[in-house]
Structure 1
Amino acid sequence: MCSGCGVEDRLYRNGHCWRCSLADVFDALTTGGSVDVASLRSSLLATDRPRAVVRWLATPFAANSIRALSAGEVAMTHEGIDTFGDTLAVSRLRAELVTAGLLAARDEIVAKLEAWIATQLNAIAGTGDRQTIDAFSTWWVLRRVRRRAATAETTNDRSARMQIARAIEFLAFLHGHGATLATCTQADVDLWLAGPPSRRGARDFVRWAHRRGLCGELEIANRVQGWPTRQLAPGAQEQIIRRLLTDDTMSLVDRVSGLLVGCYGQLPARLVRLTIDDITIDGTTVTIRFGRDRVELVEPVAVCVTALIETRRGRSASDTTAASRWLFPGGFAGRHLDPETLANRLRRLGISASKLRTDVLLELAAEIPPAILADLIGLYPTTAARWTHAAGGDWAVYAAERVRATPPR
């Protein structure tokens, strides 16, 4: 029996259970500090896994950083946390502080992109080029990333970084060929495009620069995209679904994510943002919201989803199952699972999420009118129309549906 709280549990040290030991360790790190960290203490003590939190607090980084923050040696701000570096350990600490209410929540993708842009700008020698890239990054790239982050559509910043990197390379290319952005001609652009295909990534920059009056009207054509086609061998999709439904040796996380991809055409990036509030269980009927309308899950899938809700558990030591609303909790407090991690989990099982999704979307688009499909599974109307076209439908049917669905003004 614990001498601290009286609970009957395995004791850790000094006659205390793991939870009381957690309080002891935290208090030892923060006693005498000038900053109030009581909310962090309470948040950590609420964990379902006190033993794991004690071990985390025993790591040199966690111990030293919490001691420094409590003593006021490092500011309790995102900028202060940034001084610790950019590692998984820092991300873990930041997530704990956000969960405890000591830091305001921020979009980490946007924050890291801003830091990366600052580094790129510092490396540009010419003042004029630096100002141009700064304006492009701020008013075109970052503006779009922030807008998507606000609507939960941003899962990584690879595209944004690519656009900025190509813009920097394009300006350097022009200087290397005796030209500038202001004097650039279509011939210069065509010479640029004679290089690697990735150079087409400068298209948005060139169009933005023209609209700003920084260059003449120049053309970088979009890469031609073909229509989606079947990706899996005949019968493979059915085998994958059957395996996900029946293989009890698989993790429920893998089974449910695979089924939602393979039956409802969802992206891992969309799946990880699902919360238990998106799911309604009414007796044996389970519905889920991917888009504007709710979808009733077929019984075998509903059983797996219900089981996941009851047993879900992230890898964060301090998160509590009751507090987390994510259907797929992640490794840091308050965070969902990373979409790439989810896709990699399926890949290790021999399941390509992108190929499986392509095949099921072609099937759904062949059977469901695009206006309805868009609302059911969360596609943009134009994207739904594209899938319908690829599956053998036509734009006329789609347009007629949208007209009928639009109330008179």
Structure 2
Amino acid sequence: MFTRRLRAGRCPTCNLINARQPDREPTLDAYHQRVDELLAAVPEPARLVIRRYVRWAVTRPLQRKVSDGAAVRSDLLHWPLVRVRTATLFAAAVTADAGSLASVTQTQLDAWVTELPSHRPALRSFVKWAVDHDYVPAELDVPASISREQRAMLDDEERLALAQRLLRDQLDDPPARLAAVLVLLFGQRITRLAALDVDAVIVTDSRTTLTLAITPIRLREPLAGLAREVAGHARRTGSRWLFPSSQGNRPLSGERLRDRAAKLGLTNALHARNGALAALAAQLPPALLADQIGLSVGAAAKWSKAIAATRGTYVGLRAQ
């Protein structure tokens, strides 16, 4: 079924993304609300550091631009939100592994950049600020040069068949199934998924949405049901994380979540992710792709160029 739709020129993943909420004008209130949501996913005491970074290095310059007459538009808000999202993702991930920002090593920093190369510019901004304010070791550095990402990808037929099996079959380990499907359909990185807050999944009436970046994505069945199951279990255990560790007070490590997904058939997450991004970039404009799944606009544009996709610029920050 997935393959037939793809060959007919209809992308099942894009149908999920396109079923979104109505467009709304961007506002600073929407920006502040999204910032608060991102900060809530960072454990203390790292949250205090990130809050200070956001206040003085991100939000203060943004407010100055608005005071000087800049219009509040999505292109004005996009880069500040990318910086905030990157800082919160990094802080949540490294504190889960290293225990604190002050204990982060260059090896850990390099590994994170290698897995999330599109976040390099925003992460470089945060690390420089954190070094200047003595929140991380002084020797930490994110080089400005960007290495090329591997473009090898999983065949669409194989990728969608695996997603269909994980969604339809009653297999063990629903959290790993959900993580694997989000890689296969939305091109997500495992380390990024591991840091998702449980409130990324919201159920209102008969609608289930998942927030991976700025704009919530409305999910369709059976993916919606799987997301509700995983989020419901996390909430019943009192966890704030969508993919909690066995202790519940920390997110599951990216390495552990990757191992569990591999046991279900996702043996090469990078190739699966590349296949999903190529399919999405062929259907969606770069700015919309970034807005929905968390790529930088630059990375999304590179994917579109790589597959010769052309689209107009998409604008519009939606209220969360």
- For normalisation by structure 2, the TM-score amounts to 0.54
Render the CA deviation track for 1:376-405: whole Å, top value 9, x for unaligned: 1111111111121122225xx5xx616x66
Q: 1:363 matched to which residue of 2?
A: 279
**Partner of 1:231: helix, strand, or coil?**
coil
Uncovered stretches (5+) of structure 2, i.e. residues with no partner: 1-42, 50-83, 99-103, 111-123, 129-142
> Shift in Å at residue 329 of structure 1?
1.0
- 230-239 vs 297-306, which deviates more? 230-239
Map residues 10-409 of structure 1 onto 2, 5 A cutoff. Answer: 105-107=44-46, 150-154=87-91, 155-156=93-94, 161-162=106-107, 225=148, 229-233=151-155, 235-312=157-234, 321-351=236-266, 352-393=268-309, 397=311, 401=313
CA contact (8 A) 1:229 1:390 kept: no
- 294-303 vs 270-279, which deviates more? 270-279
Letter of the 2:182 counterpart: L
Letter of the 1:105 counterpart: E
Q: Percent identity?
A: 29
Letter of the 2:247 counterpart: F
- For normalisation by structure 1, the TM-score amounts to 0.43
- Work out the CA distance in 2 between the residues paired with 1:299 and 1:329: 24
Letter of the 1:151 counterpart: T
Q: 1:281 to 1:234 in 2, by over 3 A?
A: closer
CA contact (8 A) 2:238 2:248 kept: no
> Shift in Å at residue 161 of structure 1?
2.1
- Work out the CA distance in 2 between the residues paired with 1:388 and 1:284: 34
CA contact (8 A) 1:232 1:355 kept: yes
**Partner of 2:245: helix, strand, or coil?**
coil
**Partner of 2:89: helix, strand, or coil?**
coil
- Work out the CA distance in 2 between the residues paired with 1:350 and 1:322: 27
**Partner of 1:367: helix, strand, or coil?**
coil
CA contact (8 A) 1:326 1:336 kept: yes
**Partner of 2:203: helix, strand, or coil?**
strand
> Shift in Å at residue 225 of structure 1?
2.4
Bigger RCO of structures 1 and 2 (CA < 8 A, at least 6 apart) = 2
Render the CA deviation track for 1:273-330: whole Å, top value 9, x for unaligned: 22222222123321111111110112110011111223348xxxxxxx3531211111
Letter of the 1:239 counterpart: A
Letter of the 2:270 counterpart: S
> Shift in Å at residue 233 of structure 1?
3.9
Q: 1:327 to 1:232 in 2, by over 3 A?
A: same
- Work out the CA distance in 2 between the residues paired with 1:164 and 1:376: 26
> Shift in Å at residue 149 of structure 1?
7.5
Letter of the 1:326 counterpart: W
Q: 1:388 to 1:310 in 2, by over 3 A?
A: same
Letter of the 1:260 counterpart: L
**Partner of 1:263: helix, strand, or coil?**
helix
Letter of the 1:393 counterpart: A
Number of equivalent positions: 202
- 341-350 vs 365-374, which deviates more? 341-350
**Partner of 1:286: helix, strand, or coil?**
strand
Letter of the 1:106 counterpart: P
Computed over aligned residues only, the root mean square deviation of the Cα atoms, in angstroms, reads 3.6
- Work out the CA distance in 1 between the residues paired with 2:108 and 2:225: 44
CA contact (8 A) 1:107 1:149 kept: no
**Partner of 2:223: helix, strand, or coil?**
helix
**Partner of 2:279: helix, strand, or coil?**
helix
> Shift in Å at residue 230 of structure 1?
4.5
Larger-Rg structure: 1
